[in-house]
Structure 1
Amino acid sequence: MPPPAPTATDTPEGPDTPDGPTDPTGPGARPAPAALAAPRARPARPLPVPRMTALAQLRAGRKRRRVPQLLLGLVGYGAAVMTLVDSGCGAASWSVLTEGVAHTLGVSFGWATNLIAVTVLLAWIPLRELPGLGTVLNVALIGVSADATALVLPRPHGPLAGTGYLVLGLVALAFFDALYLGAQFGPGPRDGLMTGLVRLTRRPVAAVRTAIEVTVAATGWLLGGAVGPGTVLIAFGLGPLLARFLPLVAVRLPPPAATEAASAADAADSMDSMDAARTGDVPEPPGPTGPRPHTEPVA
């Protein structure tokens, strides 16, 4: 008589349970819970202002929006600078540096401004930053706009009004800075330092701009420049505000390949039209798709 077949209680693996067999490698075993994946670090957002030559900036599309945006941004930038100056709560970081350089070298404020601008432009060379129309107009329009604003802007009376000028000037400075940068005609000397470092370090705009503002203010203070509460607020607040505004106002440009292809197609169509007009040939209109019907020759 053959021995009885082993039951579930006789198997060496042990009895089956409602949750399945106890052998974790068996065919009916449940997979082990997956380990919690480590959170991925968010990559830094790319700078919404691509690096272009001056010729590429002029050849890029959407100039009907970009040119007015550039001019409005630069004029508003100058007005915001003068609003901060009239607040009386402390100069901006670059003004502190200019004052410190003028005090150390024994030169005027204007000469110190020009010396700093030349030094910053030389720093563009290792950063491979490229100038453009915005670079030239930055130098030409911001000072004129600031002087014009000083003629019409009333002086604040009391600390409350000065604080209001400080907050208004800071927000306006960040917005108009982003507005002219977003037109994509090239940055000014100081903004080019920021855009070049952002592309080189791949760090966020807010972090790079804040590091620049704090470093510039601290250097100017060490050289003898005056620092106030507004200086600290501008140094730590301008970068985050600029990073918030810049993606919102940056003009989206068509890809260079598409622009060049469209230009080449337009040029080819123009040449075909000129050839046809010169030879008198009229192009046949496009007929229906498919094979032509077979026609018998007429006897």
Structure 2
Amino acid sequence: MKKMNRTQQWRWIFFFVGQLILSLGITMTIKGEKLGIGPWDVLHVGLFRNFGLTIGSWSIITGFLIVGCTAAVLRRWPQIGTWMNMLLIGLFIDFFYWLIPPIYSTGGQTAIFIAGTAVMAAGVGMYVSPNIGAGPRDTLMLIITEKTGWSVKTVRTGLEVTVAIAGWLLGGPVGIGTVLIALFLGQLVHHTIPWFRTLLLRVCRGDETALGGKPK
């Protein structure tokens, strides 16, 4: 029982900390808007510019729509972690956007954008690794990966490009940074997910339940 409790604690720690890290990374890239922003955020900002609300609010709304679609495909409701991710990421984005001051220099925006991309990849890998429930967008990515047999980086890149085009049509800011995230974030996540899964197993002393498996 003690081992299970310790394992569950680590799983939730990875889940929550990963979401914080991901939200921070997203906000960092938005603060580097001179380069363009991440594809999903191009969509959220485009919706914000057309219909109001906040960037985080549109993250929650689009996440809810994706949850509905993936639930229909899987014929079951997603894990509680997916719902929590949908809500918390949007709230955290708005919080970090308020917390981080504007950056006006091109050099500063370039630096925070590059750093934010790496932070995003780390956040995705960390919160997905305990298998508590991937966020709506990453759930969609994992479903497509499972159904097609394509690699994570291929599916992620395809989704990022598609969403970037939709956001651009809505007037969202697109630039070289958008292209960089669309092309390379998926490749980074392809490495961070297994890395954090290995780390989680290590801190849980090899307990398979750390990855959401059945207890022995």
Aligned position for 2:181: 234
Query: How big is the shift at 1:219?
Result: 1.8
1:254 paired residue among 202, 208, 216: 208
Q: In structure 1, how many angstroms separate the alpha carbons of the residues matched to 2:191 and 2:146?
A: 18
Counterpart of 1:203, as a letter, is: W
Evaluate the alpha carbon distance shift between residue 130 and residue 195 of structure 1 in structure 2; reply closer, same or farther with a 3 A threshold. Answer: farther
Q: In structure 2, how many angstroms separate the alpha carbons of the residues matched to 1:193 and 1:258?
A: 24
Counterpart of 1:213, as a letter, is: E
Corresponding position: 1:94 with 2:34? no
Query: How big is the shift at 1:123?
Result: 2.0
2:63 paired residue among 117, 138, 157: 117
* Contact 1:61 1:254 survives alignment (8 Å): no
Aligned position for 1:76: 21
Query: How big is the shift at 1:232?
Result: 1.0
Aligned position for 1:207: 154
Q: In structure 1, how many angstroms separate the alpha carbons of the residues matched to 2:125 and 2:42?
A: 22
Q: In structure 2, how many angstroms separate the alpha carbons of the residues matched to 1:75 and 1:119?
A: 22
Bigger relative contact order, structure 1 or 2 (CA pairs below 8 A, ≥6 apart):
2
Aligned position for 1:224: 171
Aligned position for 1:182: 129
* Contact 2:157 2:183 survives alignment (8 Å): yes
Evaluate the alpha carbon distance shift between residue 113 and residue 66 of structure 1 in structure 2; reply closer, same or farther with a 3 A threshold. Answer: closer
Counterpart of 2:8, as a letter, is: K
- Which of structures 1 and 2 has the bigger CA Rg? 1
Corresponding position: 1:159 with 2:115? no
Corresponding position: 1:65 with 2:16? no
Aligned position for 1:139: 86
Q: In structure 1, how many angstroms separate the alpha carbons of the residues matched to 2:60 and 2:88?
A: 15
Evaluate the alpha carbon distance shift between residue 68 and residue 241 of structure 1 in structure 2; reply closer, same or farther with a 3 A threshold. Answer: same
- TM-score, with length taken from structure 1: 0.60
Counterpart of 1:166, as a letter, is: F
Evaluate the alpha carbon distance shift between residue 246 and residue 201 of structure 1 in structure 2; reply closer, same or farther with a 3 A threshold. Answer: same
Deviations 1:6-47 (A, max 9, x none): xxxxxxxxxxxxxxxxxxxxxxxxxxxxxxxxxxxxxxxxxx
Deviations 1:177-232 (A, max 9, x none): 11000021011111111011111111110000000000110122233332122111
* Contact 2:60 2:90 survives alignment (8 Å): no
- The aligned length equals 200
* Contact 2:71 2:78 survives alignment (8 Å): no
| Structure showing the higher helix proportion among its residues | 2
